[in-house]
A and B are shown apart, each in its own frame.
Chain A
Amino acid sequence: MFEKSIVDVSMSGSGVLSRRGFLRGIGLGTAGLGLASLGFTDVLALNADDLREKGRACILLWMAGGPSQFETFDPKPEHANGGGVRPIETSVSGIRIAPGWEGTAKTAGEIAFIRSLTNREGNHQRASYQLHTGYVPSGTVKHPGFGSIVASELGDPKFDLPHIVTIGGPTTGAGILGVSYEPFQIANPEKPPTNLEPRVPVDRFSRRLGLLNRLENAGFARNGGGDRVREHRDLYKQTAGMVLSPRVKAFHVEAEPEPIRDAYGRTPFGQGCLLARRLVESGVTFVEVRSNGWDTHQQNQERVGKLASSVDPGFSALVADLKSRGMLERTLVVWMGEFGRTPKINPNAGRDHFPRVFNVALAGCGIKGGQVLGASSKDGSEVVDRPVAVNDLLRTFCQVLAIDPAKENLSPQGRPIKIVDGGKVVKELLA
């Protein structure tokens, strides 16, 4: 059908070999030489967990703009700052959350709510960067997003789809980890990724790839461009491998049964959560699903209510679906945003940026569900119990995903950057 060599090599590694002769990534010793360690059919026979070290994966549900803790998982019915919210009961007695999160309430047995996250960064870009990387932004080093770290630590180089996918908008990039771990972006979960479909029949597409190889052998590769051609070919093998991969069907949420699609909610976020599950099921290591619009400086309660109507079904269906498929024990689900919102309601019925106290919800992968960790004061202005810092949180993620947080990646200047700098594992969260 098409050049066998293309597929073989695309399957044999991420195929990135640096010019100056040192290997990037792991297990790439054969890739640059075009030696296939695994054939096409061998790779397909491997299931997703074999392709992904230890089978662990992570789905981040990102509430861009900074979700209000008062209208999500830390309601304050007894204080004016609570804005008159009347909490609802959950499936775990004693845990009460804000109305609008009925689905989440039902799956509370799987979820750990942290009400005592605390940080200092109150600027959207900087805080998003910090919550994604564990570091505050600096001009010199582009720290890798946590997703790229998870992808590089856990993803199998033989995998033919991207290790990290972002649904619903751009996110923090791979930084110093390089292009192999750059998040692959999907704008609309109901549309397969841009430019993934060949514009010509598959046999003609494959024929063109073969002609490209022959032309480059006859031209640039012979005339001093040999190493550049090799790099380019590795990239094209990876890309063509993806274009022609049977796994790309994971990108098609419309293949899911209607009741499941309905359960996740027929919204971009809900369908994004469903796509995330499909991708993880197919072997993708890290998926971020983004919900935008949480910067509720005006009409906070009304807007959060609306946002919850898409996030609650998506979040709860995802947790329940992963559980029923036996995937939850190996998949960490994280619900969070860059900061919380002010206890005081402003004159526009909104809440402003507040990094001092905010909340996060976690499920799966050895996180002990059915608990609330930490507490904020009655008026919501301070952490009064078990403060959790950003690096504590990331260190805990590392712990459950079996990633060594002390491992260092090198910046282009040769400066070692720890996966997580400082912080302590929050032991109470572990099952």
Chain B
Amino acid sequence: MTRNMLKRGGRIARLLALSAAVGLSSAIADSARPDEPSKSKPAATRTAQGSRALGEIAKASDRRESVAPKPEALPGGLSKRPDKTIVPMTIDAKAIDALIDRTLVAAKVAPARVCSDEEFVRRVCLDVTGRLPAPDQIASFCRSTDRDKRSRLIDALLQSSDYARNWARYWRDVIRYRATNENLGQVRFPMLEDWFAEKFEQNVPWDEIASELLTATGRNDENGATVFAVAHQGQDLAVEMAGEVSRIFLGIQIQCAQCHDHPNDPWKRRQFHEFAAFFAGVNVRRFGKQVQGRIPPFEVIEVRRPPRYAMPDLKDPLKKIPVAPKFFLTTSEDSIPANLNAGRRRALAAAYVTAQDNPWFARAFVNRIWSALLGDGFYNPVDDLGPTRTARDFEVLDALATQWQAAGYDVRELFRLILNTRAYQREFRSTDTKAGIVPFAANNPGRLRADPLIDALHQALNVPVEGRISKEDLGGKGAAKKVEAREFLRRQGPRIQFNAIFGVDPSIPNDDLLGTIPQSLFLMNAPQVNRAIESRPGTVLGEILSRHPDNRSALLALYLRVLARRPSPKEIEVCERHLIELRGDRRTCFEDILWCLINSTEFVTRR
């Protein structure tokens, strides 16, 4: 990189922030590495040169729980992070609601009411932490007279490690379900899950998370971020990476242009391959010798020599056309030197993708989270945003994404904002009603993902989830043995088997998830479920029936435990009639009821 490059880089019109990434000379980068990024005063610019001075006035925000690791200068002085400015968000939940209300008024639809505390507490617990609220939590929340109790609960849940784990699993699945390397055991998705969980727990900004995934090197049993590349180990790592990076982080399906210019999308085949060229020169290979019975670690490495990327010539299958990296969202005519090595190429790709003037990056994330929380996205499916697609309520997405991006991609803050809106807290409605059809006039119920569902089964019935490690595994052989035993369970335990039946790709639209026959067979007939449904000493139902001699209070306890709500008078009536039909056989009656609750629509639904 030379000063000359700095000048040229400065002309990249639409990606100003990248000028630093492309153009910093090694001297500057080495002498003035950015300090820990932290929230600085409004509109202050943290540049490589200016960061020392700004460091003094920058204070760690109370909302920013952790400080990101020090960005490293890459070989040759290419900074991993472009200049990032922090402009705190001014938009709040009320402002978002006002924007939504405008379209609802225009559509002449009366939105659903704000939901009850009981409905809210189940929804927010499942959405944030992936877990049902316990009966006593529901009771104390509903009893509380604190006017800010919903906001307080939201804050508390967002600070829990369950929040980090739940969303780590969500993102693990986003990557896993499109992995082209289908040997799950070798890819080590649990490592990726742990890696995400740590990032979310520390509230690392989304651009840093994305950059690390795009540029990770090392072993997949040491660095969870490498799993993204290992997941696509195959013949065309660059092609797969380019397609997935664009889909996941930008919501743009440019890989459709891999083979042909696509009639409906503006991207050309060449543009796809120019993007893929950023990911050339990266290899995934087995690390160390194969040991019988052990899963080999894999290693992601960047070749040292500048890689050559070429796309197939459609006219002559024996020929290939060399392609230099170029980002398809930039309008600039500047070309990136072809002799960049793999490390610089990927760092540059990460800088382009996550740059603050690339609106797609923020939109893709905001759209996804909003869609997961409200059951409906501005764009559906969540990974196809355009540019020829039309958003619903685009001005809401735009306002939210623009401000969130300018404020530095604070993940928890985005959750907090959305969860506090009236739009999120509305009652759910069926599509048989107008409010159920018009986006965001009601919360749209959807099927639970596999992990929250098995946790719900655990809470409702005490079915084993994590499996047990025997005493021998834990006895005396040191930490390594423990780690191995835990790893084994994470690969073989009930949670994994359950995931094999109930797992779904989180990028599939809510409305398209309809359940499968093996799933309903499992809930209907699986021995572990049916054993746990029986009323006998040691089971959930056995305890409830012995603690509540009165049928109504037993029914209440059962509903709270399984569906996290009280039964309606109509439901009580149906249950009482069932008891009469069974001539008062209480035990049989309650077993039937519990079986029905587990097999109900509501149990498998976030609502």
Binding site for B on A (CB under 8 A): 16, 18-21, 121, 123, 125-126, 129, 137-140, 142, 162, 178-179, 182, 184-185, 193-200, 204-205, 207-208, 211-212, 214-216, 218-229, 231-233, 235-236, 238-240, 242-243, 412-413, 415
Over the window 168-186 of chain B, the binary record of Cβ atoms lying under 8 Å from chain A Cβ atoms (1 yes, 0 no) is 0000000000101111000
Of B430, B512, B526, B599, the contact of A224 (CB 8 Å cutoff): B430
User: Are A225 and B445 also in contact (CB < 8 A) when A236-B520, A239-B517 are?
Assistant: yes
**Could you tell me if B605 and A195 are in contact, using CB atoms closer than 8 angstroms?**
no
Of A18, A123, A178, A208, the contact of B595 (CB 8 Å cutoff): A208
Q: Does B65 contact A (CB under 8 A)?
A: no
**Could you tell me if A228 and B605 are in contact, using CB atoms closer than 8 angstroms?**
yes
Bound state CA distance, A229 and B255, in angstroms? 37
Bound state CA distance, A205 and B178, in angstroms? 38
Bound state CA distance, A138 and B235, in angstroms? 12
Of B183, B524, B600, B604, the contact of A215 (CB 8 Å cutoff): B600
Bound state CA distance, A44 and B511, in angstroms? 33
**Could you tell me if B567 and A139 are in contact, using CB atoms closer than 8 angstroms?**
no
**23 residue pairs bridging A and B, Cβ less than 8 Å apart:** A19-B511, A21-B431, A121-B235, A123-B235, A138-B180, A139-B232, A139-B255, A195-B521, A196-B521, A208-B596, A215-B574, A215-B597, A216-B601, A216-B602, A218-B570, A219-B571, A220-B602, A224-B429, A225-B602, A232-B600, A239-B517, A242-B517, A415-B256
**Could you tell me if A139 and B431 are in contact, using CB atoms closer than 8 angstroms?**
no
Which chain B residues lie closer than 8 Å to A207 at the CB level? 592
**Could you tell me if B515 and A235 are in contact, using CB atoms closer than 8 angstroms?**
yes
User: Which 7 residue pairs of A and B lie closest in terms of their CB atoms, listed nearest first?
Assistant: A218-B570, A226-B430, A232-B601, A199-B530, A195-B521, A239-B520, A195-B525
Give min CB distance, B119 to chain A, whole Å: 9
Cβ-closest chain A residue relative to B177: A142
Which chain A residues lie closer than 8 Å to B508 at the CB level? 412
Which chain B residues lie closer than 8 Å to A232 at the CB level? 515, 600-601, 604
Bound state CA distance, A221 and B571, in angstroms? 11
**Could you tell me if B574 and A140 are in contact, using CB atoms closer than 8 angstroms?**
no
Query: Which chain B residues (553-593) contact chain A, with CB distance < 8 Å?
Result: 567-568, 570-571, 573-575, 578, 592-593
Bound state CA distance, A227 and B381, in angstroms? 20
Give min CB distance, A210 to chain B, whole Å: 9
Q: Does B203 contact A (CB under 8 A)?
A: no
Cβ-closest chain B residue relative to A413: B384
Question: Chain B CB within 10 Å — which of A139, A221, A415 has the most?
Answer: A139
Which chain A residues lie closer than 8 Å to B178 at the CB level? 139-140, 142
Bound state CA distance, A307 and B602, in angstroms? 48
Q: Does B297 contact A (CB under 8 A)?
A: no
Question: Chain B CB within 10 Å — which of A198, A205, A224 has the most?
Answer: A224
Cβ-closest chain A residue relative to B598: A212
Q: Does B140 contact A (CB under 8 A)?
A: no
Give min CB distance, B463 to chain A, whole Å: 14
**Could you tell me if B571 and A198 are in contact, using CB atoms closer than 8 angstroms?**
no
Binding site for A on B (CB under 8 A): 112, 178, 180-183, 232, 234-235, 240, 243-244, 247, 253, 255-256, 258, 381, 384, 427-433, 436, 442, 445, 508-509, 511-512, 514-518, 520-522, 524-527, 530, 567-568, 570-571, 573-575, 578, 592-593, 595-597, 599-602, 604-605, 607
User: Are A182 and B430 also in contact (CB < 8 A) when A125-B234, A220-B600 are?
Assistant: no
Of A137, A179, A211, A240, the contact of B234 (CB 8 Å cutoff): A137
Which chain A residues lie closer than 8 Å to B445 at the CB level? 224-225, 228
Of A126, A195, A225, the contact of B235 (CB 8 Å cutoff): A126
Which chain B residues lie closer than 8 Å to A138 at the CB level? 180, 240, 243, 255, 258
Bound state CA distance, A204 and B591, in angstroms? 11
Give min CB distance, B594 to chain A, whole Å: 10
Give min CB distance, A11 to chain B, whole Å: 15
Of B381, B518, B573, the contact of A413 (CB 8 Å cutoff): B381
User: Are A194 and B180 also in contact (CB < 8 A) when A215-B600, A229-B601, A232-B601 are?
Assistant: no
Give min CB distance, A136 to chain B, whole Å: 9
Bound state CA distance, A264 and B555, in angstroms? 54
**Could you tell me if A125 and B181 are in contact, using CB atoms closer than 8 angstroms?**
yes
Bound state CA distance, A114 and B161, in angstroms? 58
Bound state CA distance, A319 and B538, in angstroms? 54
Since A196-B525, A218-B571, A227-B436 are in contact, a sample of 7 more A-B pairs with Cβ atoms closer than 8 Å, ordered by chain A residue number, is: A138-B240, A211-B574, A215-B600, A220-B605, A235-B515, A239-B521, A239-B524
User: Are A140 and B253 also in contact (CB < 8 A) when A195-B524, A215-B596, A227-B436 are?
Assistant: yes
User: Are A199 and B527 also in contact (CB < 8 A) when A184-B517, A211-B592, A218-B573 are?
Assistant: yes
**Could you tell me if A139 and B430 are in contact, using CB atoms closer than 8 angstroms?**
no
Give min CB distance, B602 to chain A, whole Å: 5
Which chain A residues lie closer than 8 Å to B568 at the CB level? 218-219, 222-223
Give min CB distance, B474 to chain A, whole Å: 31
Bound state CA distance, A240 and B525, in angstroms? 10
**Could you tell me if A208 and B180 are in contact, using CB atoms closer than 8 angstroms?**
no
